[in-house]
A and B are shown apart, each in its own frame.
Chain A
Amino acid sequence: MALIDEASAVTRRMGRAVPAGSRLVVWGLLLFLAWQVAMPIAGVFVASLKDLRPLDDGFLTSPLVLGNFGEIIASGGLWRVTSTTFVFAFLSSTIALVVGSLLAFVTVRSDLPFGWLVATLVLLQLTIPELLVAISWTFLLGPDLGLFNQGWAALTGAEAPLFDVYSLGGMVLVESMILVPLIYLFAVPAFSALDGSLEDAAAMSGAGHWRSMKSISVPLIAPALVATWIIAFMRAWEAFEVPWVLGLRERIMTYATRIYWDTVTPPSDTGIISAYAVPMILLAGLMVWAHRRVSSRSARYAVISGKPAPLRRLRLTGVARVAVAAVTLLVVTFGILLPFLMLVWLSLVPFYRPPSLEALSAVSLGSWERVFVAEGLGKAVMSSFVIGLGASAALVALSVLVGWVSIVSGARGSGIARTLCFLPVALPNIVVGLAFLWIYMLIGVQTSQSYVVLVLAYVTLFLPVVSQNVLTQFGQINGELFEAPRLCGAREIRIMVQIALPLLAPAVFASVLYILIWSFKELPASLLLSGSSTRPMAVFMFDLSRNGSVSVLAAIALITVLILSVLIVLFRLLARRIGLRGF
């Protein structure tokens, strides 16, 4: 973000007048973001200080009180929950950063032959609902039924399990694997955006591969990775499924499970939910500040200043080749492929039994049939696509516009717009869902009868991810690239479409894919805002799962994976066509 601040400042120092059109765009953006982001956040702060619910009579005039904060502190264990959540989120996101970056590096920069396999498996992982990933792991590393532990016991005769997934360590392991695709998807554009000529220059000056990467490539991609790490950290902080499935057994509570327990009784206790959200918003503010600090050190490094020279693929040889290949294959096999295969197995047996020749006699497609005969599968798929495409279009347009007014026009107010883009990272999805439900009900809009409110809620939910991805890549583009055509009389819109968008393609591409996949998986806000005619796939799955078994759940998840796999194949074909690596 500081990279962008500097670019904005440079633009202003150049003395060029900010076009009137840009000022209008900034005002429009600020108004829209105020509605989409500032209002829910303000609502959270106000609701956290009220005893009444927003639709109760006298809500606005009731006195401000600190009772909700007192209650969450008095409910016991708040500090223990906070420290557990911090350890869980920090370790998960950091491990995911290391693994995701490594995988992105292998596919984009190295000459290892199985980059396509890595990309396929990582994207596959992204399509699987988190709940099912966690459940799969219980059958791989659970102390009683886990295949690894059973194998370990058979081999060694040990009574104690090799690894108990029902532990903080197990939660970190599984959550980090869930976060790997997020890091990967946004590390790939960062790696792809590097200009090969910079490394070439370093090589000509006598620097080796590793040194030129360390001195040039790593600092260049650091802002992008830090931004993604922050988002991964906040996602882990809010993660519900893994703590719910793996933490409950040993009573390991995180923020998300704590909120669930404190608000499980309907109607929602808005004061308590909001009081929990306030520290998260403050934490997000701290993250924005930290990100600016980190990226400011990178601002002095070179940025994209034309069509970048192609990157040299790093030729791995000898021990390094074997080591990188082994680690990569180990990670994708153990972390992604095995849980996926367990999911397939779970969907084929009416209830779990360890895979064996004997158990093959129990294999049936009964659970798959149960899902296919359920009413509304096709409609749910269509709803997810409508929401995903609508939200993707709006998010990309919004992010590109924010980047444009920041980088190219340097208009005042663009810094506020960028901060507003990032802040929803602190809002739990259920808070966004409730806020939109109330706001639109208050102005007389029926939320569950159309896709509009759902799309707008998704815009708020995914704004931090998409905007940070697009803005970081925008920040790598040298502003002079836009100045030259302007001096030649080109119109702003033409510069944006013909110069900016092609350079932003990797980030836009990754963002659209990410949103489309999430439009099949987002649940808390969708539950509140969708109706029977607009329910997306996640709500359809939820409905079936309430009355079903793990086998049915696994079958639904795999149907989702199959649908999304078609989407991913299409994206990969498109990526190949436009020359993007790593997808």
Chain B
Amino acid sequence: MTSTIQRTLLAGPLALAAALAQAETYDPALVEAAQAEDGTISYYFILGAEANRPLYDAFSAQFPFIDFEVTGGDPLSLVEKILNENASGQPIADILQGGPMEDGIINVQNGIGGFTRPRAEVDVPEEFKFPGEYIVPDYFTFHIAYNTNLVSAEDAPLTLEELTEPEWAGRFGIDLEQIDWFAGMLAYYGEERGIEIFEALAANDPVLFAGAQGYEQMAAGGLPVVANTFSALTVDYIERGAPIGIAVSPFVIAQPDLYIGVANSNNPASTALFFEFLFTPEAQEILAQEVYKNPVVPGVAQPPHLEEALGPEVEKFFVTSQNWGDFEGRIDLFQSLFVQ
């Protein structure tokens, strides 16, 4: 009984405090404008609806008048849909979450992106600010990972150069879907040195795979090392108990997570509100601890199992639209090195 009374007495002030905090974080005019829109953000994302579910739920809890309709698919189908929607004058997508390739086509080639920039963006450290028609509330990284039952932390390779040694011949895998990692490595090493390393890697008999299959092989002990694991999926496997370790390399390829607002969106205010939300401590915490992406707002902890691999002594080299290179050229090169 006492607790019920306490809760009732506290409810009013708490609601008032929440409202004040919201007013401080979000522009009331923007909230009002969002309320006047459809009430649904059309969200295009290659990882589908569930990847960001905690994020959507937290946002909708704060703004119950906004829901999400997520359209998944591969990059080709999502980009194709947006281009066609805009060409036919029937836009649907409000937001596309993607990488340099999507930015290159949607923004650079077709000028489809455009939105109200979030106020909180100015507080992001300079190292996480990237020029372009998108926001970057988080980033992810690519790592060399290994099966801890087969390889000790001391013996684990830390660089691609080490993987070109005879002792790793036929004992490491490469995920062929990670083209961004490949482009990032070439940008880091420089074209000539990069190609030299990749030629040596290709000559060392790597096990080629695509997607989760290689992670499964590594977790099960069929593959001692994978050269280019995607941080969020690797952490997910470790959280499920897989005997996987992440090598602490001198540098890692990092990729900014690009959230592109579509210029002719049907819900520009809701989109802007969501973008504002992404820089709040609450959203940053969700991104790090539940989605396993790296936060950009200072003071928020890194995702689990990545603290050491992304420690202060580890250089983070960002692969962006500016240093990615020619899309088709990169893919042709990747293929000619490993597939053909």
Contact = CB atoms under 8 A, between A and B. Distances in A.
Partners in one complex: yes
Interface of A: 55, 76-77, 135, 138, 142, 144-145, 244-245, 248-249, 251, 253, 261, 263-268, 350-353, 362, 366, 370, 374-376, 434, 437-438, 441-442, 444, 446, 448-449, 527-528, 531-533, 535, 539, 542-550, 553
B58 to A, nearest CB: 15
Contacts of A351: 215-216, 219-220, 237, 240-242
Contact of A375 (B47, B53, B73): B53
Query: For A135, A245, A265, A350, which residue has the most chain B Cβ atoms within 10 angstroms?
Result: A265
Contact of B339 (A253, A350, A535, A542): A253
A265 B217 contact: no
A528 B83 contact: no
A531 B327 CA distance: 27
Contacts of B207: 249
Contacts of B71: 448, 531-532, 535
A542 B209 contact: no
Given A267-B105, A353-B220, 18 more contacts: A55-B83, A145-B221, A265-B327, A266-B78, A351-B215, A351-B216, A351-B237, A366-B240, A441-B84, A448-B92, A527-B77, A543-B72, A546-B47, A547-B48, A547-B50, A549-B215, A549-B240, A553-B212
B120 interface: no
Contacts of A544: 48, 50
Contacts of B23: none
Contacts of A549: 212, 215-216, 233, 236-237, 240
Given A76-B340, A374-B49, A543-B50, A548 B212 contact: yes
B72 A546 contact: yes
A449 to B, nearest CB: 8
A198 to B, nearest CB: 51
B92 A352 contact: no
A446 B49 CA distance: 22
Given A55-B84, A76-B340, A266-B105, A527 B237 contact: no
Contacts of A539: 72-73
Chain B, interface residues (CB within 8 Å), range: 35 or more
A362 B241 CA distance: 10
Contacts of B213: 135, 138, 245, 550
A528 B208 CA distance: 28
Interface of B: 42, 46-51, 53, 69-81, 83-85, 87-88, 90, 92, 101-102, 105, 176, 179, 207-213, 215-217, 219-223, 233, 236-237, 240-242, 327-328, 331, 335-336, 338-340
Contacts of B241: 350-351, 362
Contacts of B221: 144-145
Contacts of B88: 55, 441-442, 444
Contact of B76 (A144, A244, A266, A553): A266
A545 B48 CA distance: 9
A549 B215 CA distance: 8
B83 A267 contact: yes
A350 B242 contact: yes
Nearest to B51: A547
Contact of A248 (B78, B101, B176, B237): B176
Query: For B51, B53, B211, B215, which residue has the most chain A Cβ atoms within 10 angstroms?
Result: B211
A444 B72 CA distance: 23
Contacts of A550: 212-213, 216
Given A351-B241, A546-B72, A549-B237, A248 B208 contact: yes
Nearest to A354: B220
A446 B237 contact: no
B91 to A, nearest CB: 10
Contacts of B179: 264
Contacts of B76: 263-268
A532 B212 contact: no
A3 B312 CA distance: 76
Nearest to B83: A267
Contact of B74 (A244, A441, A449, A527): A527
A542 B323 CA distance: 30
Contacts of A55: 83-84, 87-88
A546 B48 contact: yes
Nearest to B84: A441
29 contacts: A55-B83, A138-B213, A142-B222, A145-B222, A245-B210, A245-B213, A251-B208, A264-B76, A265-B76, A265-B101, A266-B80, A266-B105, A267-B76, A267-B80, A268-B76, A351-B216, A351-B241, A352-B219, A376-B49, A437-B80, A437-B81, A531-B69, A532-B42, A542-B74, A543-B73, A546-B72, A547-B50, A549-B216, A550-B213
